[in-house]
Structure 1
């Protein structure tokens, strides 16, 4: 079956056959969409493909002109390939949503189009961007007027967007007040603990039948909100909670704390190893992503109706085993809560699996999603979806359907502020050994070479990062000792084990009481260490691995966070900061980033700021590393 999916491409639907795959691979314009498991091609290759398919003993539907034009989201019309190719000679334009009431048109200058634009009552022309925008109520008239002209063509909104904003396009009045749900049958302990913005989050989730991506900032209480929502749907239990292995025990403690009238200790089963028995009668089961992968078939057979997925960005890549296992197990859920303070750690494409798990009807085709929101580009090796485009529109769609995100700034009156600054370390290349100086200079020179592949550059940057850690170490230790002299209680994050080891040696020499949590710290000991730091005023330092301790623990007895080293992913850094900046924090939280000039820090710091700019455009981040 041949179906046009874009203005100049068509897809082929057929059962798997090795002969056909060989034919498909012989076409230069071929593309394979792993999400839909379909091949698609340029319309200019239709005749060539049809001929090769016939030679292999098969028939391609409508091999000449008539084909069914079907959008990725549904809806179909009849169009000929000649007409499709003719569209490429027209003056083409596209519509993009820029607010929940207005849209913008991107189109090359054309006198006829401008005349039509000026005829609409809500027209606004931005002299800086040279773009026209209109109220949604003018959408249908604009599309109709433009497409009546033979030499003009305006691509319509995706049908998903049209459906979501249908009432606003038609001008119908809508009730924007969020419904207040009756929480009287929810456990009183959790219901009475909710702050106003958390109660709003619960109401939003219930208005969406308990299927949302709760993307609140770290420290705003996603756990307590999700437990309250799950309690509301108690009749749909047993409840499944999927989370990183390091926070499994934390989830059990939280459930018992907030739902004392609904749960007892034995009602919550935490799977800690692959040898643990899979629960049969537990009201709640807590399992890590990795263990779920090993037991996928048995958990899938249970057909859970209610589930919570903590740190849901763990399933951002649909090709990974953990994503495949999680989505398979969750496909039967009626109520599903995805929790992530950083739902798209670096790229909008990383939202796709999470969105599809909640609402598969929103964006049925990953390639279409990539073209509109990931600035998808074809290169020698296939399609690159690492970019971003139309982020405002994507944010508006998600906010109307599945996503709720509040930042700390949004609820600032309930939370203290956080102050971030960089600290230039007292280190210089002149103080380094001759060997270390040569290694640093060699890494710096290598990373600036032109013509390197992405893999080669990444490898060189990793080596540069490693050499930078060694170079910074004297300055880091000096800074830590100065803080101790001032009587500060603080968190110290580092990436390299050697940095943590060296600082730990100095703390032992000084007789300082401290805790250390890294990748080798067992889950049971993590909570013990956290409690000791929280409750003991003489325990001054928490030595923490950036990658192993950036989530799942609360350390707000301190109000100072120090980063001895940087990290590539800004989402991880912000999560790490928020071990201090959480509900219950009574002081201003100060965050110090220790930077060594003329090292890998210079490159990584710029990478961090650039990635945050992309997330900010999507409404997924308001963090500013320029502060």
Structure 2
């Protein structure tokens, strides 16, 4: 490549013979000295020298120059004498002129060229990460083809910024308020952005930081005036909320929009909702969805979302259901025939290839994983207190629940009809049903299914805290009376033990963990974390539960902040900033519903989700409040579940939904745990159907038995485990030696779970269950039955033999426990004390212990080690 060609690519005007090198090296170079040699390429509106001044002062150009292609350096040397001015210019510090591909527009301090006369300005491009540049290119590629699509990056990867950079390129923005705007947005209509009301202000702020658009908010009392400016071309970007757009759809759908961007696009998963129908009426083909959870609950939600942004891109609804939805669900069934599995694999591969034309999906691990310390997602099964178990059992015996459980049985009146079709369609002697039908004693068209949701809500409240089912004095009199009758029925003889029917407002009463299993475990875990200087995010779906947890924090003396639905929007960011900057703030109480979006709490390294949600994306969003760009420590998440309760089914369904999403969206090979098939009455299995929801699981290790069972037709058969992961570390040595999930008697299905002093029955890492973290190569080796052994690989392990399996299992378990006790003794701790430390320690601390232990073993005589 000649020097003149290189200069053309750099768009520099050739230096005249009369100009001196001193003139060229001045940082105040006149922008007019740089002209366009290529008329097909649009130069940056800010001068190259202005861009140089933006760079850091400590940049070493000579080091950067060594990284450039040799041919470029040689050409510069050859023309050094006759082009002295250019060589002097190249020695100016703080700019990377050359790129390895020698293509102007590819460097971070140059415009990002998307097409002829279309570019992301240098002032924006220099602040984008590499994956964000790829996202901008993806959006513009769809735009140039007059197509819509989905930007499905993980939460925290900057989807908002990518959208603004894309719009800046389309509208010809520079990002510099002082630059001329005469050619910006020529012949372009306005852009509509639809988003949750909680992030409207965030969108406006980001536009003001990144570019020079004319932005208006169509929300609130003055929205009619704002909309009038669009018709006069006074506004380029209009931001509105989902509800506002739905209400004013008749007005807004009449406008010809250039681009429509839908933030949190998974809100449009239901094709029968009025919001979905309203968005279909938007007059543009260039619709772009931004979401970190492309699919939440069902594969058909995937079709609904793509049919909105790319109408007809996935065929008809019936075709998609028959060709993709049904084969993928049945192929994931635990006992699916081999031909079903093969068909599902073929359809999965085909679906992914089609989706990737309109979908760009990246994870944190793929993009900024090298900039973060990592995350551990622990699922901890906490034992309910004795009174909780008794109340839970009484709830299952109520006439309302029994009606639902027995609805498929033959009616006792001798009729050939089922109970739900005959005498037991209504429950006049129930506790919940009469209140719902107080104005209609004959019942409704949905009876008895109308009481399913209220019954499930009560079971979840009992699993979390018994105070939640007591009458609320702020409710109306009728509801208080109904809750009083319910509390009387389920508390029974334990009424005095729980403090009566009325809500306990005493400080000591609410902060007492005696009758709440999950609070008991939380109290012990937090005590250890606070001693290590950790900062904790504590999420709960219930505001009443937050009130109770707040009393616990006050009694323990922890400094905390709180954010829920009652927190004014104007104060939320100040609370976040105070928690991130104040060393004294130890805990942040957050409502899952209020804190799911827009919060950046990177100072916290422990995240506790007190109650699980049916929708797995809610829990994942809560985790990502801390695990995002800017986090400097290893993040550990603890999901607390009440063992033997409905929450185990909630979590199992989360796994089912996450695996389906990984299969349909990413084409991952997932283990087949469950026999149930969603929306299929013939294969309800262990997950689906009303009877499963109201099962009594208190005498089983339900989740562990499913996830570690033998004899099922999995892609990778898992071995049975004594106790998975961290749960075993907490058990007393006698329980660890004697307890096993194996059963020699196949008829013995009921086992009581041993409980350690922390109130934890067992636990595992969610990433070990959701196999997408490691692709297809996921197995559950017996040697990883405890977290200490899976995290500290230097401990010797024995391979399991296929002959004498039970004997080898016992020998292996004894060997592992011996090694575990040796490490605890080396640390000068008892086994249980070391288990507590291990759960609270970071990965780096664990690795340091193992390095010290290994060096100690090498130095000490063998007989000393045996004595230990």
Q: TM-score range by the shorter chain?
A: 0.5 to 0.7
Once the two structures are superposed, residues 89-126 of structure 1 have per-residue CA deviations (whole angstroms, 9 ceiling, x without a partner) of: xxxxxxxxxxxxxxxxxxxxxxxxxxxxxxxxxxxxxx
> Using the alignment, how far apart are the partners of 1:370 and 1:410 within structure 2?
31
* TM-score, scaled to structure 1: 0.62
Q: In the comparison of the two structures, how many residue pairs are matched? A: 430
2:634 is aligned with 1:588? yes
Once the two structures are superposed, residues 394-449 of structure 1 have per-residue CA deviations (whole angstroms, 9 ceiling, x without a partner) of: 221010x2101112232233443211112343x44325496566347769985993
> Using the alignment, how far apart are the partners of 1:474 and 1:625 within structure 2?
26
> Using the alignment, how far apart are the partners of 1:446 and 1:190 within structure 2?
62
1:315 aligns with: 268
| Change in CA separation of 1:624 and 1:477 when aligned onto 2, cut-off 3 Å | closer
Structure with the greater alpha carbon radius of gyration:
2
1:69 aligns with: none
1:419 aligns with: 376
1:117 aligns with: none
Counterpart among 441, 466, 482 of residue 461 in structure 2: 466
Note the C-alpha offset of 1:474.
Answer: 3.3
2:262 is aligned with 1:216? no
**Corresponding residue SS for 1:273:** coil
1:87 aligns with: none
**Corresponding residue SS for 1:579:** coil
> Using the alignment, how far apart are the partners of 2:315 and 2:140 within structure 1?
24
1:449 aligns with: 405
2:133 aligns with: 199
Note the C-alpha offset of 1:509.
Answer: 4.5
**Partners of 2:395 and 2:401 within 8 A in 1:** no
Once the two structures are superposed, residues 349-400 of structure 1 have per-residue CA deviations (whole angstroms, 9 ceiling, x without a partner) of: 11223212222132352222222222299xxxxxxxxxx963332221010x
| Change in CA separation of 1:272 and 1:443 when aligned onto 2, cut-off 3 Å | farther
Note the C-alpha offset of 1:566.
Answer: 0.9
| Change in CA separation of 1:621 and 1:549 when aligned onto 2, cut-off 3 Å | farther
Once the two structures are superposed, residues 209-254 of structure 1 have per-residue CA deviations (whole angstroms, 9 ceiling, x without a partner) of: 2632001111222111111111111123532211111111111112
**Partners of 1:342 and 1:620 within 8 A in 2:** no
1:45 aligns with: none
Note the C-alpha offset of 1:506.
Answer: 2.9
2:220 aligns with: 273
Map residues 283-294 of structure 1 onto 2, 5 A cutoff. 283-294=236-247
> Using the alignment, how far apart are the partners of 2:455 and 2:389 within structure 1?
21
Once the two structures are superposed, residues 37-73 of structure 1 have per-residue CA deviations (whole angstroms, 9 ceiling, x without a partner) of: xxxxxxxxxxxxxxxxxxxxxxxxxxxxxxxxxxxxx
| Change in CA separation of 1:418 and 1:546 when aligned onto 2, cut-off 3 Å | same
> Using the alignment, how far apart are the partners of 1:454 and 1:546 within structure 2?
28
RMSD: 3.2
> Using the alignment, how far apart are the partners of 2:314 and 2:667 within structure 1?
22
Counterpart among 600, 610, 614 of residue 568 in structure 1: 614
2:535 aligns with: 489
Once the two structures are superposed, residues 136-173 of structure 1 have per-residue CA deviations (whole angstroms, 9 ceiling, x without a partner) of: xxxxxxxxxxxxxxxxxxxxxxxxxxxxxxxxxxxxxx
> Using the alignment, how far apart are the partners of 1:617 and 1:240 within structure 2?
32
Counterpart among 197, 205, 228 of residue 253 in structure 1: 205
Note the C-alpha offset of 1:485.
Answer: 4.6
2:310 aligns with: 359
1:295 aligns with: 248
| Change in CA separation of 1:617 and 1:305 when aligned onto 2, cut-off 3 Å | same
Note the C-alpha offset of 1:184.
Answer: 7.5
2:194 is aligned with 1:242? yes
Note the C-alpha offset of 1:477.
Answer: 5.3
- Which structure has more strand as a fraction of its residues? 1
Map residues 105-144 of structure 1 onto 2, 5 A cutoff. none
**Corresponding residue SS for 2:143:** coil
2:436 aligns with: none
**Partners of 1:274 and 1:294 within 8 A in 2:** no
2:165 aligns with: 228
> Using the alignment, how far apart are the partners of 1:443 and 1:521 within structure 2?
40
2:386 aligns with: 430
> Using the alignment, how far apart are the partners of 1:472 and 1:579 within structure 2?
26
> Using the alignment, how far apart are the partners of 1:458 and 1:495 within structure 2?
16
Bigger relative contact order, structure 1 or 2 (CA pairs below 8 A, ≥6 apart): 1
Map residues 95-110 of structure 1 onto 2, 5 A cutoff. none
Map residues 332-343 of structure 1 onto 2, 5 A cutoff. 332-333=284-285, 335-343=286-294
Once the two structures are superposed, residues 241-291 of structure 1 have per-residue CA deviations (whole angstroms, 9 ceiling, x without a partner) of: 1111111111111221222xx24xxx3223442554433233322211011
> Using the alignment, how far apart are the partners of 1:187 and 1:396 within structure 2?
32
**Partners of 2:563 and 2:594 within 8 A in 1:** yes
Map residues 546-625 of structure 1 onto 2, 5 A cutoff. 546-620=592-666, 624=767
> Using the alignment, how far apart are the partners of 1:617 and 1:433 within structure 2?
37
**Partners of 1:477 and 1:506 within 8 A in 2:** no
> Using the alignment, how far apart are the partners of 2:550 and 2:399 within structure 1?
28
1:384 aligns with: none
